[in-house]
Amino acid sequence: MIFTKFSSLILILGLIHFNTAFYLPGLAPQNYCNQQESTKSCKSDVTLYVNRLNTEESVIPYEYHHFDFCTTDESNSPVENLGQVIFGHRIRPSPYKITFMKNETCKPLCTKYYTAGEADSDRRLMIMKKGMSLNYQHHWIIDNMPVTWCYPLQNDRQYCSTGFSMGCLVRNSKNPEVEESCALNPAYNRPGTYYLFNHVDLLITYHSGAKEEWGNAFKQNGGRIISVKVTPSSIHHDPKAPDCTSQQPLEIPAKPLEPGKKIDVLYTYSVKFVQNNTIKWSSRWDYILESMPHTNIQWFSILNSLVIVLFLSGMVAMIMLRTLHKDIARYNQMDSGEDAQEEFGWKLVHGDVFRSPRKGMLLAVLLGSGVQVFFMSLITLAFACLGFLSPANRGALMTCSMVLFVILGTPAGYVSARIYKSFGGVKWKSNVLMTATFSPGIVFGLFFVMNLVLWHEDSSGAVPFSTLVAILSLWFGVSLPLTFVGAYFGFRKRSLEHPVRTNQIPRQIPDQSIYTQPIPGIIMGGVLPFGCIFIQLFFILNSLWSNQMYYMFGFLFLVFLILIITCSETTILLCYFHLCAEDYHWWWRSFLTSGFTAVYLFIYCCHYFVTKLQINDAASTFLYFGYTLIMVFLFFLLTGSIGFFACFWFIRKIYSVVKVD
């Protein structure tokens, strides 16, 4: 009960909406009014921005002007933040002219001509066809809201997608499998034909102004935009008199055009403004978030699994405490007794348990980066829960985590230096340099290789050269010096004191049973932590690869806490068994035990790739696994460090309470 209340509290925190007293820059409401009354505080032009196009069938996004649509001067595009640039967003102005409260019917935009046999025309048409066959989706933005395409699903529900198809293809096979976007209109049925969506109906809902909300800016004929819905369609226009009520679709044969044949594509649009005062401006995102399939999943199933995990963890913790208590009581009793029996169990390895590991430098470096990733995730999630990183604030999540990662160089340097020093390391310069460059270098290297592929594909996902320079200068200009500062303080501090002395000569480790051998232990270690994150993982992957918005940060924060708990507990438990079996090589093993969760993450991503995505081409597959590897590596650092520090704390604790002569 208490648990349910607690989590619903976090949920509410996560779903908090901005109230009128507090707006982030760029997220304040925009007042609109009709042309006659427009002033500085209320605009009459409703600007439509277009974003890059993407699809579930490929990982490669393309800019709007990559396709042969009607374009306009793109020189004054909105400024994008680092996160948006890295995610491949390219927001550009469009030629659609919309005026507040002015209905438009079948307004022509531009005409594109294609003639058979002309090289340029063939190339343009080919790109359009490829886009339609892979089901590339438009992403339009009006008033900082996505323009949504709502269509009914089978179960009487409506799904509002934040993108809409540029067209569709009815495939030319004996058993024509009509694509989802073609199936919406029974007229799109001729096999081997593309239907290009050259007409859009925009339905703009607004909330009319009220004196209390607007203050001095109040206008009789004003309002705030609540939602913009689009219905795309394919219409074969008469070029002289475009008629948008025509039922005849624009058909483009899948085969190359016959010689002498021409196709004219006239793009048109209609706009309708409707008033609806029942929806508040502050809850205008709800209809999009509610239609996302997340809410379909019963909250209770997630909650139940969380409860089970917590229950299990509680049991583990209780068993450990009781067993340990008994052990310690027996050890200390034996010492006080006259007839000293032979030592047994984990106490036996007290002279070796703090013996420095092999490859201590690498371990210290990985732990430093792990700490960096840990605090980055924690702080980003906390911000996200408070609503700072809402979907309205595009790219903010990514920007926030990158900036945090750079700033958190200091704790990374400090932790790495202290651990390295406690291993008796003296090469402090290499330690700092490795901490600042090893893990970021792996991530950047992967990112750079993928960028080369995207460049080659002429994709909008390719980060411009200037952004690469910016990332490098953040890394070497800010993160590196901050790591040095942290390492300076880390090395200046006295070395970590261990509770027991280490013997000169290492003990022989007895033969281990199959359960206490390193590899089975490590493989088992990741199961429980993975078990409690995989439901969330599904939604996160959907938001990364299937255009769905992720907004359940409250839940994610909870899951993050549970991940910390389960990682720590499983590592401590396994660590205890290994010490009881007189195997004292715990440093690397504790890191790898919980770090193995990342391997399960990788397997899950492969499973997702095979079952959920319809990616066929090599470049997309390469990119998918590239991004996945970055994610898996960061997750490995995160979980590995959690396990290590939990185990480190535990071992220091238990050896400080037993008496050793």
Ligand X SMILES: *[C@@H]1O[C@H](CO)[C@@H](O)[C@H](O)[C@H]1NC(C)=O
- Residues near ligand X (CB under 6 A) are 101, 103, 272-274, 276, 278-279
Picking from 410, 400, 411, the residue whose alpha carbon sits closest to that of residue 377 is 400
Residue 298 Cβ, how far from ligand X at the closest point, in Å? 24
For the residues of 97-129, what is the DSSP string, one character each? EEETT--EEEEEEEEEEEETT-HHHHHHHHHHH
Chain centroid, CA 202 distance in Å? 30
How would you class 116 by CB atoms within 10 Å of its CB: exposed for 0-12, middle for 13-18, buried for 19 or more?
Answer: middle
Alpha-carbon dihedral angle through residues 398, 402, 408, 412, given to the nearest 10 degrees: 110
Residue 34 Cβ, how far from ligand X at the closest point, in Å? 8
Angle between helices 409-422 and 396-407 (to 10 degrees): 40
φ/ψ of 58, rounded to 5, equals -160, 155
Lateral strand order in the sheet of 199-208: 32-33, 222-233, 199-208, 262-275, 104-115
Comparing CB distances to ligand X, the nearer of 98 and 480 is 98
Residue 281 Cβ, how far from ligand X at the closest point, in Å? 13
* Maximum alpha-carbon separation in the chain: 110
Which sign does the torsion angle of CA 479, 481, 487, 492 carry?
negative
DSSP for residue 476: I
φ/ψ of 114, rounded to 5, equals -125, 130
Comparing CB distances to ligand X, the nearer of 273 and 645 is 273
Are the C-beta atoms of residues 81 and 395 closer than 8 Å to each other? yes
Comparing CB distances to ligand X, the nearer of 272 and 501 is 272
CA pair distance 318, 316, nearest whole angstrom: 5
CA pair distance 570, 592, nearest whole angstrom: 12
CA pair distance 206, 189, nearest whole angstrom: 36
Residue 160 Cβ, how far from ligand X at the closest point, in Å? 11
Residue 185 Cβ, how far from ligand X at the closest point, in Å? 22
Residue 229 Cβ, how far from ligand X at the closest point, in Å? 11
Comparing CB distances to ligand X, the nearer of 210 and 274 is 274
Comparing CB distances to ligand X, the nearer of 203 and 485 is 203
Residue 35 Cβ, how far from ligand X at the closest point, in Å? 11
Comparing CB distances to ligand X, the nearer of 106 and 279 is 279
Residue 295 Cβ, how far from ligand X at the closest point, in Å? 16
Comparing CB distances to ligand X, the nearer of 148 and 594 is 148
Residue 488 Cβ, how far from ligand X at the closest point, in Å? 59
φ/ψ of 113, rounded to 5, equals -110, 135
CA pair distance 479, 464, nearest whole angstrom: 21
Residue 272 Cβ, how far from ligand X at the closest point, in Å? 5
Picking from 441, 467, 442, the residue whose alpha carbon sits closest to that of residue 454 is 467
Residue 247 Cβ, how far from ligand X at the closest point, in Å? 20
Residue 227 Cβ, how far from ligand X at the closest point, in Å? 9
Rg of the chain, C-alpha, whole Å: 30
Picking from 214, 217, 229, 216, the residue whose alpha carbon sits closest to that of residue 281 is 214
Residue 203 Cβ, how far from ligand X at the closest point, in Å? 9
DSSP-derived 3-state class of residue 393: coil
Residue 70 Cβ, how far from ligand X at the closest point, in Å? 24
Residue 148 Cβ, how far from ligand X at the closest point, in Å? 13
Comparing CB distances to ligand X, the nearer of 8 and 276 is 276
CA pair distance 26, 8, nearest whole angstrom: 29
φ/ψ of 483, rounded to 5, equals -65, -40
Comparing CB distances to ligand X, the nearer of 117 and 152 is 152
Pairing of strands 167-170, 164-165: unpaired
Residues whose CB falls within 8 Å of the CB of residue 444, separated by 6 or more in sequence, listed in order: 471, 472, 475
Comparing CB distances to ligand X, the nearer of 151 and 447 is 151
Token reading at 15 = 């779903």
Comparing CB distances to ligand X, the nearer of 225 and 541 is 225
CA pair distance 159, 293, nearest whole angstrom: 8
Chain centroid, CA 642 distance in Å? 21
Pairing of strands 199-208, 149-152: unpaired
How would you class 423 by CB atoms within 10 Å of its CB: exposed for 0-12, middle for 13-18, buried for 19 or more?
Answer: buried
Comparing CB distances to ligand X, the nearer of 274 and 603 is 274
Comparing CB distances to ligand X, the nearer of 220 and 333 is 220
Comparing CB distances to ligand X, the nearer of 125 and 289 is 289
Comparing CB distances to ligand X, the nearer of 136 and 206 is 206
Q: How far is CA 644 from CA 436, 568, 651, 657, in A?
A: 20, 8, 11, 20
